Amino acid sequence: MADTVTFTLNDKNVTVPKGWTVMQAAKQAQVDIPHFCWHPGLSVAGVCRFCMVHVQGARKLEIACNLQATEGMIVRTDTPEVKEAHKWGLEFHLINHPLDCPVCDQAGECGLQDFYMQVGKYKSQMTRPKVLKPKAVDLGPRLILDTERCILCSRCVRFEEEVTKTGALGIFDRGDRAIIGTYGEEKIEHNYQENLVDVCPVGAFTSKKFRFKQRVWFLQEKSSICPGCSTGCKIKVHARTDRRTYYRVKPEIDETVNGFWMCDKGRDTIAHLNREHRLPQSQMRIDGKKQTVPTAQALESLRRAIETAGAEETALLVSAHYTVEEYEAFFHYFCDQLGVTKVYQWRAETEDRDSFDGILLRGDENPNTAGLRAAMRRVKGRTVPIKNEIATCVSKKPKVVVALCPEVPFTSPWFQEDLKQLAGISHVSLWTCRYEATEVAGITSWIPMKGFAEKTGHFLNYEGAKRELQEAFPSATAEALSVVEAVQQMAAIATITTETATL
């Protein structure tokens, strides 16, 4: 076929679409070509000169990132000449690099360090003083820049030009005096700052939030989906399971939705998962006093309340933070089996749902509006308009309310105010991941829920695309349940109760 080319890469036949570079082809073929300035999400700069490959018949080594693969081309990445170029390429990169790895956050995930271990491990020839440049520059609410560590690969400059289109970064001066920075003392304020930390192949850009917090080799990373808005970016959650502590979120490559990036708001979606913010165990208000109870007791009490009040006096208040599978189980149990018909959406009173920042962030701050909507359509037999229905719910004066609380605190600042509206209802059962802001008069029980990174299932994003969650980490609190598990447990209690009654 004319629209593909086949060439040889280290004796391996590789077929790629016409127009691909050797670098792209090597990625696909899983042949490692070390590089610093090339980034799959940015234009080709070709300046680090590290991705040198040998092309049969060429006068000199070529850079793989700007070399188009052509039919029959014979490329090697492992000749002595290539290895020599790597060794010296690394030496050149390290000449003015401070080599302060022991105090650098990037250590453990640093391109320079990795390649040093791979091709180097030799004593540097460089014995002269290094060029001194500004260190620890405060570049924005989330960013610190160390221009001495910078290897001038220009990835960050290209990111600002091509992705955020702010063009906020430049390279000033020339030669080895060149310095990355903003104009004057200007700060980078946009919502994509931490991508600069991600694209930086060394520790020049570091995250203020993550700075000096944790050595990266202690972290485990697992795939997940950002619950911060309806885009549903694919992410990696980094945590220490031994400490049950979440440290950071990074984007995971997903060509169809978020490409290589995610926004800064999305990076803040893990804080609430840590133990200190969690509802540790189920609680109930008994005789006006809040007490820790076994989850079974809280669920049984709910079950009895529904029985007493009747399904028609029971309402479900549901936020769009849960998975399609959770809604399915929830509605199956409460509506199909128990016969509850009062189902209400719970979301921000005012929201600019259709707004979009042109990159990733959407005004709908719920990860599964589409999933909830579809589930409600099934239950109600009609499509309901998307809006906050808590007032309607209260106006119907239900005796029992089961509330699936919004999970991510910073996208639901209205949460506590809304809760106050439920004060007069005789039994309110909050199913919640978070602990903070749930201390409101009139709540009967609190059931701890798992966070998005602790359960399987999927969200439907703004365009209805399936966004798969996996159980990345065990929950920071052992008692936490997914809605599916909570419903199963409640159904089991119900069965026992029924059996007891028959006896």
Partner 1 sequence: METFARDLREKIQSELTRYETPRSAILPILHLIQDHCEWIQPMHVEGLEREFGLSRVHVQEVATFYSMYRLEPCKPFRILFCDNLVCAMMGAEGVMDKIRSHMASFPTDKCPFSLQGVPCLGVCDGAPAMLVNKERHLRVNRDNVDAILASYK
Partner 2 sequence: MEFTKILTRFENIPNSRALATYEKHGGYEAAKKALTQTREEIITLVKDSGLRGRGGAGFPTGLKWSFVPKTADTVYLLCNNDEGEPGTFKDRYILELSPHMLIEGMIIAAHAIGAKKAYIYTRCEFYDEIRWMNEAIAEAYQAGYLGKNLFGTNVQVDLDHYIGAGAYICGEETGLISSLEGKKGQPKLKPPFPAISGYLGKPTIVNNTETLAAVPWIITHGAAAHRAMGTEKSPGTKLFCVSGPVKKPGVFERPLGYPLKKLIFEDAGGMLDGKQLKAVIPGGASAPVLLPAEIETLTLDYEAIAAAGSMLGSGAVMVIPHDQPMMELLRILVNFFHHESCGQCTPCREGTGWLASVVQGVEEKTATPEDVEKLYQIAVHMEGRTICALSDAAAMPTKAITRKFADELKRSIRGI
Nearer to partner 1, 168 or 404 (CB): 168
Which one of the spans 15-23, 43-51, 140-148, 489-497 is the region binding partner 2 (CB under 8 A)? 43-51
Q: Does 172 help bind partner 1 (rule: CB under 8 A)?
A: yes
Structure tokens at 239: 């945590």
Interatomic CA distance for residues 330 and 486, integer angstroms: 9
Q: Does 123 help bind partner 2 (rule: CB under 8 A)?
A: no
In the block, residue with structure tokens 């640093």: 110
Q: Does 134 help bind partner 1 (rule: CB under 8 A)?
A: no
Total of residues contacting partner 2 (CB under 8 A): 37
| Residues from 124 through 163 that contact partner 2 (CB under 8 A) | 125-126, 128-129, 131, 151-152, 154
Q: Does 171 help bind partner 2 (rule: CB under 8 A)?
A: yes
| Residues from 280 through 299 that contact partner 1 (CB under 8 A) | none
Interatomic CA distance for residues 144 and 20, integer angstroms: 35
CA-based nearest residue to 78, from 143, 38, 32? 32
| Residues from 179 through 198 that contact partner 2 (CB under 8 A) | none
Q: Rg of the Cα trace of the chain?
A: 28
CA dihedral 414, 415, 420, 426 (to 10 degrees): 150
Nearer to partner 1, 205 or 322 (CB): 205
Nearer to partner 2, 125 or 292 (CB): 125
Shortest spacing between CB 360 and partner 2, in angstroms: 29
HSE-up of 160 (CA within 13 Å, CB side)? 21
Task: Kindly give the interhelix angle for 483-502 and 324-331, rounded to the nearest 10 degrees.
Answer: 20
Interatomic CA distance for residues 229 and 153, integer angstroms: 32
From 46, 98, 108, 170, residue interacting with partner 1 (rule: CB under 8 A): 170
Nearer to partner 1, 65 or 139 (CB): 139
Q: Is 5 strand, coil or helix?
A: strand
**What is the per-residue DSSP string for 66-120?**
G-B--TT-EEES-SHHHHHHHHHHHHHHHTT----GGG-TTTTS-HHHHHHHHH-
Which one of the spans 59-67, 104-112, 241-249, 465-473 is the region binding partner 2 (CB under 8 A)? 59-67
Interatomic CA distance for residues 109 and 473, integer angstroms: 22
Interatomic CA distance for residues 193 and 143, integer angstroms: 7
Nearer to partner 1, 90 or 169 (CB): 169
Q: Does 95 help bind partner 2 (rule: CB under 8 A)?
A: yes
Q: Does 387 help bind partner 2 (rule: CB under 8 A)?
A: no
| Residues from 177 through 196 that contact partner 1 (CB under 8 A) | 182-184
Give me the residues that bind partner 1 (CB under 8 A), please. 167-174, 182-184
Question: Which residues here bind partner 2, judged by CB under 8 A?
Answer: 44-50, 52, 59-61, 66, 68, 84-85, 88-89, 91-93, 95-96, 125-126, 128-129, 131, 151-152, 154, 171, 173-178
